Amino acid sequence: MTGWVVVAGLGPGRETLVTPEVQAALSEATDIVGYIPYVRRVKDRPGLTKYETDNRVELERATHALEMAAEGARVVVVSSGDPGVFAMASALFEALEAGPPAWLDLDIRVLPGITAMLAAAARIGAPLGHDFAAINLSDNLKPWDLIEHRLRLAGQAGFAMAFYNPRSASRPLQFARALEILREACGAQTLISFARAVSTAEERVTTVKLEEATPEMADMRTVVIVGNRDTRRVGRYVYTPRSAS
Ligand code: SAH
């Protein structure tokens, strides 16, 4: 039996947004590994073992996937959205780097998915139509000072921005601070969109000016998109022109 590891993105939620190549990998897998809600999105079938793990054990999860593949299993490590965007693909390579050299010969593939900011941007219109930056607002894996620094510089440089992991129960204050910095760096009239649970039954998308934005508008199921100074409304859509003023 020849084992392999596929790191796959399941997209933002809706089943039709899972790519055919990810569906094919899931149907050939013997084992699924990932964070509980993502593993639950994969349908049960005979011959498939599912390992649901907690959020903060990425490295253990990746090591487990590689160990199983080395023994002949066909393992899919699942992420939401795209696996390379603040997700499991990097963790897999970190585990590979730390593991036995024999693992380097394993068949490892990363299959892309539709990341939250692109699904959200498509619902909103085209807010990321010019240059933009994607920033993870969680300070679990980097210092908050660095996040503030990047926010300020990206805003001053005129990038539109997409924010992942904007606000959680354990980090209630940081997003309020992020909004303050954005108002200073981008101007209070800049448009900001809150896209929650995009492509699911709970989807909710709202756009306001930065001066009207409040921290409660975001939670951990929200991706936040801030426009640049040219970003504007046309009817019920928001778009950023492809040329800079
Ligand atoms: N790999 C994922 C991101 C993982 S980080 C991707 O590419 O989309 C988790 C964060 O992604 C959440 O806190 C939220 O900011 C965002 N997110 C994931 N799914 C989302 C969805 N359906 N709607 C809005 N935001 C989502």
* pLDDT tens figures, 34-55: 999 999 999 999 999 999 998 8
pLDDT confidence tier of residue 190, bands split at 50, 70 and 90: very high
Q: Please, what is the angle between helix 174-186 and helix 144-156, to 10°?
A: 20
Q: Please, what is the angle between helix 58-70 and helix 88-98, to 10°?
A: 60
pLDDT confidence tier of residue 56, bands split at 50, 70 and 90: confident
Tokens for 23?
A: 């569906």
Tokens for 235?
A: 């009817």
- Please name the residue whose Cα sits nearest to atom 12 of ligand 1: 165
Is residue 12 within 8 A of residue 116, CB to CB? The reply is yes
Helix or strand (DSSP H, E) at 132: strand 132-136
Pocket test for ligand 1, best of 35, 56, 78, 80 (most atoms within 8 A of CB): 80
pLDDT confidence tier of residue 245, bands split at 50, 70 and 90: confident
CA of 80 to the centre of ligand 1 (A): 7
Radius of gyration of the CA atoms of the chain, in A: 19
Assess whether pLDDT exceeds 80 at residue 1. no
Average pLDDT, the chain: 96
End-to-end Cα spacing for the chain:
59
pLDDT tens-digit readout, 143-158: 999 999 999 999 999 9
pLDDT tens-digit readout, 118-127: 999 999 999 9
pLDDT confidence tier of residue 106, bands split at 50, 70 and 90: very high
Report pTM.
Answer: 0.96
Assess whether pLDDT exceeds 90 at residue 169. no
Tokens for 103?
A: 């693992």
Tokens for 218?
A: 């975001």
Strands 204-209 and 191-196: what pairing?
Answer: antiparallel
Collect all residues with Cβ–Cβ distance below 8 Å to 132 and sequence separation of at least 6.
159, 160, 161, 162, 228
Determine the atom of ligand 1 nearest the C-alpha atom of 82.
7
The binding-site residues of ligand 1, defined as CB within 6 angstroms of any ligand atom, are 12-13, 79-82, 85-87, 115-116, 120, 164-166, 195-199, 220-223
CA of 100 to the centre of ligand 1 (A): 32
Distance (Å, rounded) from C-alpha 105 to C-alpha 117?
34
Tokens for 239?
A: 């778009």
pLDDT tens-digit readout, 194-236: 999 999 999 999 999 999 999 999 999 999 999 999 999 999 9
